Amino acid sequence: MSTNILSYSAPSYVELERRNTELLAENQALRAQVEEARLLIEEHALADRERHLNAERFQQMFDCAPIGLTTVSLEGRFISVNRALAEMLGYTSEELLALRFQDITHADDLETDIELVGKTIRGEIPRYKLKKRYIHRDGSIIHVLLHVALVRDEDGAPVHFISQILDMTEQKRAFEALQTSEERLRQLSTPLVPIRDDVVAMPLIGAIDANRADRVLEVLLAGISGGRVRVAILDVTGVVDLDEQVAAALVRTAHAVRLLGAQMILSGIRSEVARTLVDIGADFSGFVTCANLQAAITHAFRLSRGRAA
């Protein structure tokens, strides 16, 4: 053992210096790795926080959006719904998540919707827009404008749909009310008044343009098409102006009435109207003219009894 101790030689200064340099280098490399790992951890933490914040922002926007928003599986099941959609359809969010869009779509609109879904999945169209009807929980009809887009993964495979649903029910009702009002105004502008079973009169007031003249023809022909009316009186006493185009339309109306087997009486013709009819060379063989509505009604009764030529 003493021989081993005597044979031991201490490392030289150069060797110690070399080892010290290697240790310092290894230490610096380890410090750099630790710092890189720390920065990487902080970066991932920041990214996680950013993703979390973005998810929270999206969820807030999703929940608070004034229109209906939903994600839907490829089979049609609701994956997520916002409050606006739940309120629109009268369900809770939990109840909607147990349903498919097919369950609440009006039967007359379902085939079109499913066809567009199939085209989107097959890649024939990227997205679609559709006016359709949903069935509210209480059974009433909800008219909506539906926008649908397909979400795909990195490989292009379909994942799910995202849909925007705008409630158009009030607009639909307003439009229908406006149409009803306009139809009533048209009826008031061309009223067909029954004087007797076989005599009708249409007193016109105000200006007459080409559209209203066409309406006069339409209403008159519809009123006498049943075959019971023998005499139709068209009174223009209250017409403020009558140009050549409208005058020609009235003459055509008289001839159309005669083709249906009835007689036309034009009453209330003022001098300027008479001049217009003469200027256009109106054919008076299709109708009778009277000075006023009272005279026209008297003449109509005679015609209906076959007492007037």
Percent helix / strand / coil, the chain, rounded to 5 = 55, 25, 25
What span, in angstroms and rounded, lies between the C-alpha atoms of 136 and 292? 58
Residues 68-123 have pLDDT tens digits of 999 999 999 999 999 999 999 999 999 999 999 999 999 999 999 999 999 999 99
Helix (H, G, I), strand (E, B), or coil: what is residue 291?
coil
Between 13 and 58, whose confidence is greater?
13
- What pLDDT, on the 0 to 100 scale, is given for residue 165? 93
Average pLDDT over every residue of 233-255: 78
Q: How confident is the model at residue 25 (pLDDT cuts 50, 70, 90)?
A: confident
- What pLDDT, on the 0 to 100 scale, is given for residue 11? 67
| Range picked from 152-161, 207-216, 268-277 for highest mean pLDDT | 152-161
Cβ of 62: how many Cβ atoms within 10 Å? 17
Residues contacting 189, CB < 8 A, separation 6+: 204, 206, 212, 215
- What pLDDT, on the 0 to 100 scale, is given for residue 307? 45
Between 304 and 107, whose confidence is greater?
107
Average pLDDT over every residue of 288-294: 85
Return the C-alpha torsion angle 81, 85, 87, 93, nearest 10: -10
- What pLDDT, on the 0 to 100 scale, is given for residue 10? 64
- What pLDDT, on the 0 to 100 scale, is given for residue 35? 75
Please give the C-alpha separations between residue 194 and each of 4, 24, 197, 203, 230, in angstroms, as whole numbers.
141, 115, 7, 11, 12
Across the chain, mean pLDDT equals: 81
Residues 154-209 have pLDDT tens digits of 888 999 999 999 999 888 888 887 777 666 655 555 677 888 888 888 888 777 77
Give residue 209's identity as a one-letter amino acid code: D
Residues 27-40 have pLDDT tens digits of 787 787 777 777 77
Q: How confident is the model at residue 50 (pLDDT cuts 50, 70, 90)?
A: low
Q: Is 22 exposed, middle or buried (0-12, 13-18, 19+ CB in 10 A)?
A: exposed
Cβ of 21: how many Cβ atoms within 10 Å? 10
Task: Please determine, for residue 231, whether its predicted confidence score (pLDDT) is greater than 80.
Answer: yes
